[in-house]
């Protein structure tokens, strides 16, 4: 497992990627009547027949949408351009009413793509089952080892994992509670073979740390936790931190997918003097029981039945 806080790695993770991350926009027919918007992020250099690097551009896919009629053209697959461009390791889904190019979430994908190709897709349906079905549809065209998402997209990824072979999940914020509603049943339904990474702000009102810790104790799935200090559910930061913090979190998630230690499950990200810093992975914090004080009281009274009494009080 690679150390994250060596001077070399700190400089590398804060700087620009050695190989620039590229992005391809394309559309995918998830059903005969539904076309979803997608992005594919990768770092491999793609070269044409003349050996000159070229930008990948998707084919124009604009078939008419006719009810009950299958699409006239198969979904564009960026990996078909070259054998050197591997399939995505992660399928990442946005939250409700959130486009794919929004700052923050895309920066998380860009950071992750330094280590693995990633496919991000959009689905504005209010149905979590509908969103989960799109995970299954994409997996039929693009193999992946992990599913993930932001907010509602993360909840859809949980359902997607329950009905696919993917047993690795990555959540960039998770809405565990909303008003008086709690949403942990699907997390508890994940089996012991599933491994989950949460990237959460410690000031997230939709996922209080105390409640997540209680859910974690009940989960069969194995869980890792990246705690981002002073971050809320929207991961909003001032100035360039709104890009740098999600980018670092994406890199940490990408390295976690490469290798992880089952005994080291918590990591903290924060800013100091405007610089993003982070810890190594650490063991789960164990809340120690409060110290117990025993006080022995001996009551002397001739009026007590049986004579003197001794009472022990534990505080």
Walk me through the domains of the chain, giving residue ranges and CATH numbers.
7-314 (3.40.50.1820)
Measured distance CA(241)–CA(292) in Å, rounded: 45
One DSSP character per residue, 199-266 reads EEETT-TTS-HHHHHHHHHH-SSEEEEEEETT--TT---STTHHHHHHHHHHHHHHHHHH---TT--E
pLDDT band at 49 (very low <50, low <70, confident <90, very high): very low
Contacts of 61 (CB under 8 A, 6+ apart): 26, 27, 35, 73, 75, 76
Each residue's pLDDT tens digit, 135-159: 998 998 888 999 999 999 999 999 9
Q: Is residue 18 within a helix (H) or strand (E), and if so which, with residue range?
A: none
Backbone dihedral region for residue 239 (phi beyond 0: left; psi -120 to 50: alpha; all else: beta): left
Give the CA angle between residues 154, 159, 160 to the nearest 5°.
90
Each residue's pLDDT tens digit, 255-281: 999 999 999 999 999 999 889 999 999
Q: In the predicted model, what is the mean pLDDT of the chain?
A: 80
- pTM: predicted TM-score of the whole model, two decimal places: 0.81
Each residue's pLDDT tens digit, 293-315: 444 545 555 555 555 555 444 44
pLDDT band at 56 (very low <50, low <70, confident <90, very high): very low
The answer to whether the CB of 277 falls within 8 A of the CB of 270 is: yes
The answer to whether the CB of 138 falls within 8 A of the CB of 119 is: yes
- CA nearest neighbour of 112 among 140, 134, 96, 92: 92
Measured distance CA(93)–CA(134) in Å, rounded: 10
Contacts of 279 (CB under 8 A, 6+ apart): 4, 5, 267, 268
Measured distance CA(266)–CA(274) in Å, rounded: 23
Question: 86 pLDDT exceeds 80?
Answer: no
């Amino acid at each position: 497992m690679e150390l994250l806080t060596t001077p070399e790695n700190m400089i590398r993770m804060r700087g620009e990627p050695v190989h620039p991350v590229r992005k391809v926009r394309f559309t995918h027919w998830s059903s005969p009547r539904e076309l979803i918007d997608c992005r594919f992020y990768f770092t491999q250099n793609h070269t044409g027949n003349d050996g000159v690097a070229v930008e990948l551009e998707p084919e124009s896919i604009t078939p008419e949408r006719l009810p009950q009629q299958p699409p006239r053209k198969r979904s564009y697959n960026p990996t078909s351009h070259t054998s050197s461009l591997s399939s995505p390791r992660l399928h990442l889904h946005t939250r409700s009413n959130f486009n794919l190019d929004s700052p923050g979430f895309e920066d998380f994908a860009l950071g992750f793509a330094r280590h693995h190709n990633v496919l991000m897709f959009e689905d504005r349906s209010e149905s979590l089952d509908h969103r989960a079905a799109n995970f299954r549809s994409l997996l039929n065209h693009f193999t992946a080892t992990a599913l993930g998402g932001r907010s509602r997209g993360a909840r859809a990824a949980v359902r997607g994992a329950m009905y696919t072979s993917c047993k690795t999940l990555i959540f960039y914020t998770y809405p565990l509670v909303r008003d008086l509603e709690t949403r942990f049943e699907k997390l508890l339904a994940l089996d012991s073979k599933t491994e989950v990474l949460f990237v959460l702000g410690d000031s997230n009102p939709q996922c209080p740390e105390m409640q997540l810790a209680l859910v974690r104790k009940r989960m069969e799935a194995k869980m890792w936790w990246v705690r981002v200090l002073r971050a809320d559910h929207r991961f909003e930061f001032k100035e360039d931190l709104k890009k740098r913090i999600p980018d670092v979190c994406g890199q940490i998630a990408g390295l976690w997918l490469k290798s992880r230690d089952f005994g080291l499950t918590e990591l903290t990200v924060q800013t100091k003097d405007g610089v993003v810093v982070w810890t190594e992975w650490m063991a789960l914090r164990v809340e120690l029981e409060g110290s117990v004080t025993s006080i022995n009281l001996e009551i002397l009274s001739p009026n007590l039945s049986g004579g003197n009494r001794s009472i022990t009080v534990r505080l």
